[in-house]
Structure 1
Amino acid sequence: MGRYVRFLFTTLYFIFLFHASAQISTDGEQSVLKEFKDANAPSGRFDIFFNSVNRYNTNSAYDWLDTIKIYLANTEKTNDTIASKLYRVMEAQVYNDLGEYDKSTALAKDLYFSKDSLDPESKRIILDVLDDNYANLQLYDKQIEIRKRKRELGITDNVSFYDIYSNLGLYTKARNQYIMEVKPTIADNDSYGLAKYHSKVGNYLRLDNSAPTALSELKKAKAYLDVYLNDISTQKSESDIFESDLLKAEIEGNIAKCHVMLGEYEEALPLLQNSIEVLKTSPKNSDQSEVVDNTLYLADANLKMEHYTEAKKYLDVEFDNITIFQAIKRNSLLAAYYDKIENFRNAAIYYKRNERIKDSMSQKQSALIKQQLVTIVANEDLENSQRLIDEQKRINELARSDMKAKDERINLVFISLIFTLLGFAGLVYAYLKSIKNQRLIAEQKHIIEIALVEKDSLLKEIHHRVKNNLQMVSSLLSLQTKNTRSKAAIEALEEGKSRVKAMALIHQKLYQNDDLSVIEMQGYIESLINSVQSVYKKGGHNISITIDAEGTELDIDRAIPFGLILNELVSNSFKYAFPENDENGKIYIHLRKNGDQGYFEYTDNGVGLPEDTEERTHSSMGIRLINRLVNQLQSKLNIDKQSEGVRFWFNFS
């Protein structure tokens, strides 16, 4: 009995400690974005953004992105170019953290190659962002160019290739180069450095399917890290402790993966769960990718232990970013799960899904990676050759000095002969290299052309499927409407269906176009009006609608908000503007875009807005949605009450 009482009190004590620590953590973290907003100058906000230990623990990356865009818009209005560059550097970093590598790369390149020079710290951050973006986009040749640029600027001493070899699946080569380059630089008393070193070596062994050897290295890494954390003689900052916790979580996650590979599932489960919880707090893309890997290993372990409900729980987790290889593994695990529960139809779906992914990606990816590998090896060989040439020059200088002391004339003849031969060899080498490069360029051009055709085809297929899926959602809303008696619920469902149709039209126009980047707005608006009229069958057919958008084209990022805004405005006119008779009803829609500037105007001659419009603005979902969409276009909605009807207008860029 006494033992159970002690157990109860111990449990309550730890629950209290956990609650208290969580409360302290929350109170400490909630001020990071507030501190950012309260800072007086852009440079202060820049320092807070990049020096915070974990800026996303309380506020998401999307919250930060919205805030930074507001400040950026204000600086551009005031032509404050210095502040504008600082906010754009932060914006590039946030897009990188969100996994939107194409957007991040475009912003970073625009900043780096702009005529206005960046300060050294901003330049270092931008190069780091480009380095990470190209790694995730598998553009390893461009990643090497960035690293060489870092070396030229003094940001790093040398160019390392081991992480690129790892990304290409050459784990043995990556491990050997890492050991050769890093091991000599670590002092014997540097516990933290040794922990990172053994962690990296162990992970390369694990990826190379050497689980027992990897486990030994990873346990060494954990032991060194424990020594570092328990060393009270070394002062550690908050950032040092945070980085140490992330490293410990990474090591424990990799140890757990080795246990799964060896069939030791019970040992793996708690390590994987703890690793996931800690790595979730990291803003690094590599750590978030580890979260995905660890979750899939958790599902695999539970599946092997026949804990099917638990396995399905982890397989149903939604992630912001997941690689194609992680998606393939997830599909394989889902297929295995449905096989286990004898739902063979669903199992077949996931097996086929994997086959489609592999068929569509393998040939293109293999060709691209092969091309990247050729470039990398060529770069590395070029550097090695340069080192050999430099060494040979040094030896030749010594030989020349020695021979000069003996016989100056023989020495001069000999040196002339050497340089003649070197010159001839150089010309031959340059000629052969030129032929090889031309062949490589032709092959690369062919590969790129094939990839572009496949990309256009895939994009059209994606837009077609998105349109079909949105139509299915619209049909489901229609079915729900028929089974609903509440008038308010029916109206809400009809409004939702109308919004879904507005988005579906965008994707329909895209896959029907030859140009997948823009939408011709005149035809889209006409189709949208017809769609809205079909929803409001009792009204709207006698209203005269004038559309002035001929020749205006918008990209999908602007077309979707415009479609939803128009859907709301036209729906409101049909529902409320002409309550008694719409015989003389008129609607005018004007949309123009010249270069970077655009203008939108919507008017009707109905009964106008009620007196309590501002109060309704806070309660009406339609008005709130319109304002949110206009804000998304980085503009502000203007409303003019007229003697007859109402006018909505705004400028956009």
Structure 2
Amino acid sequence: MKYLRVLFVEDNPNDVELLFRHIKKANFEIEYDIATSLEEIGDLTDKYRYDICICDYKLPGFSGIDAVKQIHEMDKDIPVILVSGTIPGEQAIDALLSGAKDYVLKDNLQRLLPAIERELDALTQRREKRKSDRLLNAIVDGPIGVRISDKDGTIIKVNNAYCDILGYAEGELVGKNLSLVTPIESKEEAEEAYNTLIDGDESTLSQIKEVKKDGAFVDILVNYSVEKTEDEVLVISTIQDVSDLLMNKSFLEQTSKSAGVGGWEYHIETDVVKMSPKIFEIFEMDDMTDKNAEQLISIYHEDDRQIIRDALVDCIANKVTKSLPLRINGLKGTEKYVRLTFDPFVVNDVTIKLYGSLKDVTEEKLLELEIEQREQRYRFLFHNNPNPLMIVDDSGSETIIDVNHAATELYGYTKEEFVSMTTFDLRPPEDHEMFQNIVNGLSEKEKEGIKTIRTNHLKKNGELIIVDAHWKKISLGGERSRLILLIDNTEKAMFEQELIKTNSLLKTLIDLAPIGVVTVNTEGIVDKVWNAEAENIFGWTNEEADGNFLPYALRDKKREAQNNLKKVAETGRTELITIERETKKGKEIVLREYLTPIIGKDGKVEKVMLLIEDITNTIKVERALVDSEQKYRNLVEASHDLVWRIDIEGNFSFINNASSSILGYRPAEMIGNSFAPYINPSKVEETVSVHESVIKGDVFESFPLEMVTSEGELRHLSATAYPIVDDNGMIVGCSGTATDITYLKNYQSQLEESLAEKEILIKEIHHRVKNNLAVISGLFALQAMHVDKDDNETLTILQESQSRIKSIAAIHEKLYQNHVFSSIEIKSYLTDVVSEIAETYERNDKNIEIEVLGDEVSLNVNQAVPFGILANELIVNAYKYAFDGKDLGKINVSLNVVGKELIFCVADNGIGLAEGFDINELNSLGMTLIRTLAEQLNATFDWDTKTGEGVNFKVSFVPDTLIKSTWIKKKPENKIISRLNKKR
């Protein structure tokens, strides 16, 4: 998971949360801060180091451009990406010119993550370059000579220290070949060694001679490091002048050979000193006569004279030998260093004379001083070398003898801790055996050279680092040792690994790219890259294409391809072309080809990358779309309906020719004008509201539209309206159609007027029929009043007839009350019928309860009348005959829809039917009506009875038109209860 520190410049916390969640999808470990003012931006960027800045465009008191300028003025290397709801084009360009890296709309956040990845890669490269530049400057400006040369041996860069070693100025070396500073006798050998160095990958430490500007030779110790990239090979050499160190050795050998010693003898009693010629030579005396002691002492340095006197006294008195390092001032003015020795000559325990020697050790002393200075310089170079150095025992113990400051800095150990350790302590345990095998495997001859190995070391804190160790066998105080130069290449190794991964990823991306990717040189020769999609498009494999001219541009197409490549090479600009080519199988295809220049280090176009897309099918589709568009336009223009497009402001951008026939305006008269003047003034506000809703994204499948013709006539239209959306998903207008329904509107008005008249007539008819039936029912009631009370048969006939008439009258009453005259709701009708029956057949010796149950269903008039009479007969029969001899009773009237059938039941808990009951054998008027009406309804008539347990009559039929008000059975809503108090 990659770490990412983000600065959000945003005043909306919800937007910050949205952006945070979106960025986190890319597997970032995010830490972020929020700034809402320019002051906070300054404070936060001074306090923290940010990888990216996500900035809104519009903020309270300042803009995104102000934020970009603030960050740039503070010299902060923070990529800024503007993320906003809307960024006008000109402001977006200003933001990019001010230093913003990109801008992303909040409704198109899929662009944000690629932009962040791109800017993070660029930031990483800038940081790595700054780091490399600092490291390079540290090396270049250091006391060690640095020289950078290319694979041909041309010097590219040198530092001041190297120029000082050879005596050249920088301009005299840069651009010259290494042969300039190579001794003539060594040039061939040096060139061969240089080529061998380039062919390998290991760093090398060598001691060689080079020629100074004045022609003198200089001995140098060179550490070569080869850096290879895809485009070039560089040799980085660090150089130290070791001439002085080698000279010390020469001085010591020369002094040893040429050393001369003079003898002397001092007679104490006579105070006479006799000397050999060598002493006179040392003292620069031409007078070679004997001298007394003080004469000779006066030649010595004034600071040494008393030392000599004290030594003489001590030697004479105590008979001891002396050896003194002294200084003299030769009589000819030469200052010399000498060593004077005293030996007593004793007779009878009395020192009678002294003898000794005098040796001119000037050269030795000067050499000693010079060696001391050089050793101090060597120690300075050793301890102040920017590269870690250490000296290790080479006898097998691997004990660390000495380290420089850079080594303590790198590993974290103090010098005292180092000298108590071995090199094995610096290596991971798993590497011990491998390292021992490497050392043991070297022959004595191989051990003499400079060896290099890349290995793993451990710091004191346990951190693993990767170092290049260069070692050379040396002798230190007569003991076998190794001088080791250590270079921390952890970051370089990690970078190399990342580079390998990146190259692998890049190769994978190229291989998996959905378009063909090919690289060629400027002559059109395929250079390595010919990905899988290129193989898929053309049929040639990578092996067939690599190293050859573009295989799909041969014969008559070759010159065209060469000209295209030449244009890119000359201009350095990307070209987009559409070309026709053939595949390996001869199939003709159309290609869209992007030719992108690849610039070399010399600033010239070195290669060209071709991004190739097979657009053969796309071209076919586009051509088909053009044909389809023309056909569509012809259809639109030929349509008798209005077809239009209106922009966001409400102006016509298109309208077809139907405007002439419907509105009397030609399309040219309407295009560019607002639609509002063509709308019925009373409907303008309503129509504008429709347009505004469409611009917000609503769709109107159908809405009424009233427009005014050029003659001022009103036109009624049935219209549709849809939003027009561009490629970015933005609504840019609306389109619609409208059908002229003016004649339909007029016809509808006429029909509505006619229908209203007929409804009044039908309603009046039903009202008159109901009234007439009421009159007839009343006549039957009056007639019954004049019948003898004992004539039950006649009274019954009159009551039954009256009940039947009331059932028919109830239907007309329902029709009169309804707005629909073709059907009635049966359940409420049954409720009314039951009430009438209960009232008509009320008896004071019975207590009968009636319930109406079931679904609310409507029947048309043709079936409602026979059904009403049938229901009346069944309920009346239950009242009259079901409860003979019983005081209490219950009748359930139910109406249910089962599938396509209507099931009507009348059930009671009375005495039931007699055994052998058969309705077909009964000839009473009631039963005859029941049979006849059931046949009229095409119904089945069944019954179920048990003596003493009541009877259930069931009528089943299929209605002509079934209108079911509710399909859910409910608890009884209508209950008609006739409770007649039993006569006591």
Q: TM-score, normalised by structure 1?
A: 0.32
Greater RCO structure (CA 8 Å; 6+ sep): 1
**TM-score, with normalisation over the residues of structure 2?**
0.22
User: Of the two, which has the highest radius of gyration?
Assistant: 2
Decide which structure has greater strand share: 2
